[in-house]
Amino acid sequence: MAVSRETVLRMADLARIALDEDDVDRLVVDLGRVLDYVEMLADVETPDLSAAGRAAAHLRPDSVGESLATEDALSNAPVVRHDHLVVPAFLPEES
Amino acid sequence: MEPYELGYAKAMELMRSGELSSRDLCRSALDRMAEVDSRVGAFLTVREPADVLREADEVDAARSRGDELGPLAGVPVAVKDNIACTGMPTTAGSSSLSNYQSPYDATVVRRLREARAVVTGKTNMDEFAMGSSCENSAFRVTRNPWNLSRVPGGSSGGSAAAVSAGMSTLALGSDTGGSVRQPAGFCGVVGFLPSYGAVSRYGLVAFASSLDQIGPMSRDVAGASALFSSIAGMDPLDATSVAATPVRGLGGSARGPSDLAIGLPVECFGDGVDAAVATRVRAAAGAVGDAGARVVELSLPSIRYAVAAYHVVADAEASTNLARYDGVGYGLRGKGARDLDTMYRRSRREGFGLEVKRRVVLGTFVLSEGYRDRYYALARRVRSAIAAELAAAFEDVDLLVMPTSPTTAFGVGERIDDPLAMYLSDAHTVAANLAGLPAVSLPCGHDDSGMPVGLQLIGRRMADGAVLDGARIFEEVAGCACELPEIG
């Protein structure tokens, strides 16, 4: 399936990645080829998924225990102030 | 013979008898790194030799006191850089994490430390485990020790090369679509994929959560078995972890070739598979047959859809897992943004390499409105069909045997601009991940250019011990033993 520039840009937008022009061009080609390749999946006779037998994940009780200390949790943060993560304002640049 | 040239089994035997100290084994590994890693490029971080040797000395002291020590005590282990280790960076091969220092150890690392293994460093990998050649690392390209102009495979290329070149007795890698087995095959070492859930993923940088597993690499099956036994087991911190069958024992298999039924899928020996590779693997299967195993040919028609199903599912899961790299709490933050959304976009543009962008965009696409049923839901159903077909095959045989990869190691730069060609090097490995099955790659001779051929065994779900037993049989009777390359 051929993929348009608009589609690539829209998907990159959803994925919150700003793409360089060169990358957009490459992805249009690459994604088109991969999507062509995966078209073959439509040829497979497939079972109804409701019968899928994957083992259920095991749960643990919702109890309070030790967790990562605040200072450790923030140890890799780019900008920290008073135990808070500092980020740019939420409003878009234009407004 | 230098200690670094010993495989795990021989090294452990000599340490237990007192003829080899852990200090000498670790020193030898460090010296080997100093000698060859400038050419191979397997390691991103190496621990201070003084720290490594101090830990080795402590094990030696414990051993001479007569303390009880387990099968990993004093053994050097290299760890793939997507596995969290305190005191060292954990970069996952990505610019987005180039300065990241994990505040906690992965469960497997905690278990290594408890077993008194000696972690020597972190190894190079394709960024976020997305790749089959170790060319997608943000930091360096790792080379194949058998021929430095060839790739070591990926994404655990650094761990495979480290073990192959004698720079570490053991290593941990991770495998989502073949990333332990394919580089093991390309580098001529043993690489094991546990059943999904057999090893905790806590502390493994997530790529595709329904497929990822951490697996051992070694130059002998005994080493892979010892490392697997030490890290496997349920973990309350990983809700998907379960108990698999234990490895029966390091001193030899309870089963022999005459207890084995092995199946060769015709689809894995035909078109697209190098003739030399197919011949070597068939010969090894024949040798096990001569030793008493029942050998049959069978057909797995759905295997040709495995790469397609894998990429749709894995990339979809990756697009979700990698959403966390936003520059907020850790990792690279894009500069100069005056609003949050722009910061996200710049952080990810600068932090992610091209292959990662490719997969995240593809993954986003197959989950997007209007396409989700046509791609993602369909791929999940095909995944179930593949798993069902494999399960049916195991009603007749105990192990499937096939080349690990259709070719031997390709040249650096040869496939980097052709994503599909790159993905097809995993054509034989992805099915085991899709079905959650245990699988192992063993060395199986060389092709005409001297490059290692990999042989893969796949077993029943949760029968990890049986797969490693089978690997031991191939190692003993079919010439599937590791050699040390001359580094060019």
Q: Render pLDDT for B104-140 as a digit per residue (tens, 0 to 9).
A: 999 999 999 999 999 999 999 999 999 999 999 999 9
Given A11, A45, A72, which is nearest B368 (Cβ)?
A11
Q: Is the distance from CB of B403 to CB of B428 less than 8 angstroms?
A: yes
User: Least CA distance to B369: which residue of chain A?
Assistant: A11
Residues 6+ apart with CB under 8 A from B450: B146, B147
Do B328 and A87 count as a contact with CB atoms less than 8 A apart?
yes
Q: Please give the torsion angle defined by the CA atoms of residues B127, B327, A68 and B130, in that order, rounded to the nearest 10 degrees.
A: -10
Angle at which helix B306-321 crosses helix B354-367, to 10 degrees, equals 100
The three state secondary structure string of chain A is CCCCHHHHHHHHHHCCCCCCHHHHHHHHHHHHHHHHHHHHHHHCCCCCHHHCCCCCCCCCCCCCCCCCCHHHHCCCCCCEECCEECCCECCCCCC
B365 touches chain A (CB under 8 A): yes
pLDDT of res. B90:
98
Domain end: B351, B380, B409, which one? B380
Residue B427 falls within a domain, yes or no? yes
| Mean pLDDT for chain B overall | 96
Mutate to test the interface with A, among B356, B362, B380 (most CBs of A within 10 A): B362
User: Least CA distance to B311: which residue of chain A?
Assistant: A38
What are the tokens at B162?
């480290």
Question: Are B50 and B189 in a shared domain?
Answer: yes
Window 11-40 of A: residues touching B by CB (8 A cutoff) are: 11-12, 14-20, 23, 26-27, 30-31, 33-35, 37-38, 40
Residue B311 falls within a domain, yes or no? yes
A68 touches chain B (CB under 8 A): yes
**Counting one residue from A and one from B, how many pairs have CB atoms under 8 Å apart?**
164
The CATH number given to whatever domain includes residue B37 is 3.90.1300.10
First to last CA, chain B: 20
Question: Are B175 and B315 in a shared domain?
Answer: no
pLDDT of res. B250:
39
Mean pLDDT score, B27-39: 98
Domain that holds residue B42: 3-259+400-477
Given B305, B329, B344, which is nearest A44 (Cβ)?
B305
Do B309 and A41 count as a contact with CB atoms less than 8 A apart?
yes
Question: Are B348 and B470 in a shared domain?
Answer: no
What are the tokens at B385?
């069909």
Burial class (CB in 10 A: 0-12, 13-18, 19+), A86: exposed
CA dihedral sign of residues B470, B475, B476, B479: positive
Given B319, B331, B388, which is nearest A47 (Cβ)?
B388
Question: Are B365 and B404 in a shared domain?
Answer: no
Name which residue leads in pLDDT, A65 or B286: B286
Residue B265 falls within a domain, yes or no? no
First to last CA, chain A: 38
B434 touches chain A (CB under 8 A): no
Do B342 and A88 count as a contact with CB atoms less than 8 A apart?
yes
Q: Render pLDDT for B406-459 as a digit per residue (tens, 0 to 9).
A: 999 999 999 999 999 999 999 999 999 999 999 999 999 999 999 999 999 999
Do B339 and A93 count as a contact with CB atoms less than 8 A apart?
yes
**CA-to-CA distance for B228 and B8, rounded, in angstroms?**
13
Domain end: B380, B412, B443, which one? B380
Residues of B in contact with A48 (CB under 8 A): 381
pLDDT of res. A91:
73
Q: Please give the torsion angle defined by the CA atoms of residues B146, B179, B363 and B352, in that order, rounded to the nearest 10 degrees.
A: -60
Question: Are B406 and B358 in a shared domain?
Answer: no
Mean pLDDT score, B361-379: 96
Question: Are B17 and B125 in a shared domain?
Answer: yes
Nearest one of B426, B156, B181 to B309, comparing CA atoms: B426
Given A40, A57, A89, which is nearest B339 (Cβ)?
A89
Do B388 and A27 count as a contact with CB atoms less than 8 A apart?
no
What are the tokens at B283?
């010969």
Is the pLDDT score of B363 beyond 60? yes
User: Least CA distance to B346: which residue of chain A?
Assistant: A18
Given B234, B305, B358, which is nearest A27 (Cβ)?
B358
Question: Are B156 and B250 in a shared domain?
Answer: yes
Bridge partners (DSSP) listed for residue B214:
B174
- Catalytically active residues of B are 80, 155, 179
Residues of B in contact with A90 (CB under 8 A): 339-340
Residue B314 falls within a domain, yes or no? yes
Residue B390 falls within a domain, yes or no? no
B357 touches chain A (CB under 8 A): yes
Question: Are B65 and B98 in a shared domain?
Answer: yes
**CA-to-CA distance for B405 and B359, rounded, in angstroms?**
22
Burial class (CB in 10 A: 0-12, 13-18, 19+), B175: buried
Nearest one of B96, B387, B111 to B238, comparing CA atoms: B111
pLDDT of res. B93:
98
> Residue length, chain B?
488
Residue B294 falls within a domain, yes or no? no
Residues of A in contact with B342 (CB under 8 A): 18, 88, 92-93
Long-range contacts of B273-278 (CB under 8 A, 24+ apart): B273/B403, B273/B406, B273/B407, B274/B403, B274/B406, B274/B407, B274/B408, B274/B447, B276/B408, B276/B447, B276/B448, B276/B453, B277/B403, B277/B405, B277/B406, B277/B407, B277/B408, B277/B447, B277/B453, B278/B403
Do B361 and A38 count as a contact with CB atoms less than 8 A apart?
no
Question: Are B313 and B212 in a shared domain?
Answer: no
Q: Is the distance from CB of B403 to CB of B281 less than 8 angstroms?
A: yes
Question: Are B30 and B122 in a shared domain?
Answer: yes
Question: Are B149 and B10 in a shared domain?
Answer: yes
Q: Render pLDDT for B263-290 as a digit per residue (tens, 0 to 9).
A: 999 999 999 999 999 999 999 999 999 9
pLDDT band per the 50, 70, 90 thresholds, residue A55: low
Percent of chain B exceeding pLDDT 90 equals 96
Question: Are B34 and B89 in a shared domain?
Answer: yes
Q: Render pLDDT for B309-349 as a digit per residue (tens, 0 to 9).
A: 999 999 999 999 999 999 999 999 999 999 999 999 999 99
Given A3, A46, A58, which is nearest B239 (Cβ)?
A58
**CA-to-CA distance for B298 and B396, rounded, in angstroms?**
10
pLDDT of res. A50:
57
Give me the half-sphere count of Cα atoms (radius 13 Å) on the Cβ side of residue B411: 5
Q: Render pLDDT for B207-265 as a digit per residue (tens, 0 to 9).
A: 999 999 999 999 999 999 999 999 999 999 999 999 776 666 434 455 789 989 999 99
The tally of domains found in chain B comes to: 2
Domain end: B320, B348, B380, which one? B380
Minimal Cα–Cα distance from B417 to chain A, Å?
9
Do B345 and A42 count as a contact with CB atoms less than 8 A apart?
no
The three state secondary structure string of chain B is CCHHHCCHHHHHHHHHHCCCCHHHHHHHHHHHHHHHHHHHCCEEEECCHHHHHHHHHHHHHHHHHCCCCCCCCCCEEEEECCECCCCCECCCCCHHHCCCECCCCCHHHHHHHHCCCEEEEEECCCHHHCCCCCCCCCCCCCCECCECCECCCCCCHHHHHHHHCCCCCEEEEEECCCCCHHHHHHHCCEEEECCCCCECCCCECCCCCCCCEEEEEECCHHHHHHHHHHHECCECCECCCCCCCCCCCCCCCCCCHHHCEEEEEHHHCCCCCCHHHHHHHHHHHHHHHHCCCEEEEECCHHHHHHHHHHHHHHHHHHHHHHHHCCCCCCCCCCCCCCEHHHHHHHHHHHHCCHHHHHHHHHHHHHHCCCCCHHHHHHHHHHHHHHHHHHHHHCCCCCEEEEECCCCCCCECCCCCCCHHHHHHHHCCCHHHHHHCCCEEEEEEEECCCCCEEEEEEECCCCCHHHHHHHHHHHHHHCCCCCCCCCCC
pLDDT of res. B251:
41
pLDDT band per the 50, 70, 90 thresholds, residue A93: low
